[in-house]
Structure 1
Amino acid sequence: MIRVEHIKATTALITKGWHEQIADSLAESLGGDQTIIATHQGVEIETVRLSG
């Protein structure tokens, strides 16, 4: 489990970047398995990062 305060603090530092680069950074700093979903210009993008 990851504390929501840690997620909020980590994501507040992100000001720009490519979706996949942000996913890599979050996986490195927060750990665990992650699925990030975003919509860019009407296209839904899902990026999955698995630990281990």
Structure 2
Amino acid sequence: MSFERLAQALTRRASALAAARAEMRRRERREDPSRWHRPHLLWPHFTSRTD
């Protein structure tokens, strides 16, 4: 794997994790109980697509 591909993969993972954390914080503020039923928020690395 080239450095460029590695950097792109790490950037995608970091972006997915940041988005999930932001969504979880938003749902926490709203006291939305559905946040515990959304696997993409609880485990973003295990539920995201990989290329």
Q: Fold-level match, TM-score > 0.5?
A: no
Bigger share in helix: 2
Scaled by the length of structure 1, the TM-score of the pair is: 0.29
TM-score w.r.t. length of structure 2: 0.30
Larger radius of gyration: 2
More strand by share: 1
Q: Comparing both chains, which one has the higher relative contact order based on Cα–Cα distances under 8 Å and sequence gaps of 6 or more?
A: 2
